[in-house]
Amino acid sequence: MTLLESLYYLGYSIKKRHDFKKQKRLPSRVVSIGNITLGGTGKTPAVMALAEEATKRGIKTCILTRGYKGKAHGPCFVSTGDGPLIDEHLAGDEAFLMAAKLRGVPIIKGKDRYKAGMFAIRNLASHPLFILDDGFQHWKLYRDKNILLLDRHLPFGNKKLLPLGTLREPVKEIVRADVILITKSAISDQRPVGDDLIKEIRLYNEEAEIFFSEHNPTKFIKHNNETMSLEWARGKSFFGFCGIGDPRSFRMTLSSTGALLTGFRTFRDHHRYSRKDIQSIKTDASRSGAEWIVTTEKDIMRLKGIFLPEHLVSLGIEFIVDTEFYNEVFKGQQ
């Protein structure tokens, strides 16, 4: 471990001990979904899929989220289940996206998720199942089940802690996971894909149930919400851009649709776009000969209020996982 990693680990250890000592428990079941690395695992689609499945099973659900980069001070409602109540600037892009796409699922933003949960119980007059978004390191709140997402391609990054790597905490901490979900993997071919990774996981965690999930493209969406099938993109030329945790994955997904990429630009994760950025992207796209400009649904959330070109589309993604995963997560809930 380098000096920088050691300094980070010291701060991490102090905070972890402090938060565990102060840990509180909500009078309702809590399921946490999170990462051990910085972004890029497909967490937001997984959270939404879990909330949708809970609703289908008749389980009242509420999402507690930090609302990263959102300016609203919590706890506050991002949605009561019928669409966003505050804009992306206040909610944060991930929370706003969930609010825009989910129906029947309240979403509450708050840095302190215990206070956010109690706020939900008071205002919803119920005790829902709480889904703790990005909660693997939120030690202040007790959770009944810890779901850890690992990207099949880079499960532990370069295995270095911040700031030299993308690990939020040491790999050994996967021991806290009750369920491990390997994302961006082929469910139908999981054994050859996952054997080496499973062996490595079992060095640190012998008990967690392990599942595999896919993040598949489903459609292209214009910013007026008109949709086009994947077949529509075949043979057409696109200029892509994104500001997400794993731009490589987005680029690979785009290519899998048959779209022809003439160029691609990346921005920092959660980048807040300006009119100047959009003009620069339009210029680059034109120079590359692209017919269309394409980005992610999450990036589109950060483009609200900016005049957008008519030839801009986003790519819709579907989260797919075996029913056994949901059965394990909701065991004892119904």
Query: CA nearest 36: which of 145, 194, 151?
Result: 151
d(CA 219, CA 310): 17
Cβ neighbours of residue 56 closer than 8 Å, sequence gap 6 or more? none
Question: So what's the pLDDT on residue 165?
Answer: 94
The torsion defined by the Cα of 206, 208, 210 and 216, in degrees rounded to 10, comes to -140
Question: So what's the pLDDT on residue 301?
Answer: 94
21-215+320-329 and 218-317 share one CATH topology? yes
On the CB side of 206, CA atoms within 13 Å amount to 1
Query: Roughly how many angstroms between the first and final C-alpha of the chain, as a whole number?
Result: 45
Question: So what's the pLDDT on residue 188?
Answer: 57
Cβ neighbours of residue 66 closer than 8 Å, sequence gap 6 or more? 92, 109, 110, 111, 113, 133, 134, 138
> CB–CB of 93/273 below 8 Å?
no
Lookup: tokens for 87: 């804009």
More confident site: 334 or 213: 213
Q: Is 80 left (phi over 0), alpha (psi -120 to 50) or beta?
A: alpha
Query: Could you say which DSSP state residue 185 is in?
Result: S
Lookup: tokens for 332: 């004892």
In degrees, to the nearest 5, what angle opens at C-alpha 48 toward C-alphas 239 and 93?
A: 50
Q: What is the mean pLDDT of the chain?
A: 94
Question: So what's the pLDDT on residue 193?
Answer: 47
Question: So what's the pLDDT on residue 332?
Answer: 78
The torsion defined by the Cα of 228, 230, 231 and 235, in degrees rounded to 10, comes to 100
pLDDT above 70 as % of the chain: 97
Give pLDDT tens digits for 231-266. 999 999 999 999 998 899 999 999 999 999 999 999
Q: Is the pTM of this model over 0.85?
A: yes
Mean pLDDT of 31-55: 95
Q: Which residue stretches of the chain are H helix? A: 3-21, 43-56, 88-91, 93-101, 113-124, 190-204, 247-256, 275-288, 297-301, 323-329
Query: CA nearest 228: which of 236, 5, 143, 215?
Result: 236
Per-residue HEC secondary structure of 104-156 comes to CCCEEECCCHHHHHHHHHHHHCCCCEEEEECCCCCCCECCCEEEEEEECCCCC
> CB–CB of 223/300 below 8 Å?
yes
d(CA 165, CA 158): 6
Question: So what's the pLDDT on residue 85?
Answer: 97
Mean pLDDT of 95-122: 97
Q: Is there a cis peptide before residue 217, judged by omega within 30 degrees of 0? A: no
Q: How confident is the model at residue 273 (pLDDT cuts 50, 70, 90)?
A: very high
Q: Identify how many contiguous H helices and E strands the chain contains and give both numbers.
A: 10, 13
Give pLDDT tens digits for 150-159. 999 899 999 9
Question: So what's the pLDDT on residue 187?
Answer: 63
How would CATH label the architecture of 218-317? 3-Layer(aba) Sandwich (3.40)
Query: Could you say which DSSP state residue 166 is in?
Result: S
| Domain covering 21-215+320-329, topology | Rossmann fold (3.40.50)
Per domain, the residue ranges of the chain are 21-215+320-329, 218-317
Cβ neighbours of residue 105 closer than 8 Å, sequence gap 6 or more? 51, 52, 54, 55, 61, 62, 63, 79, 81, 98
Question: So what's the pLDDT on residue 194?
Answer: 53
Mean pLDDT of 183-189: 73
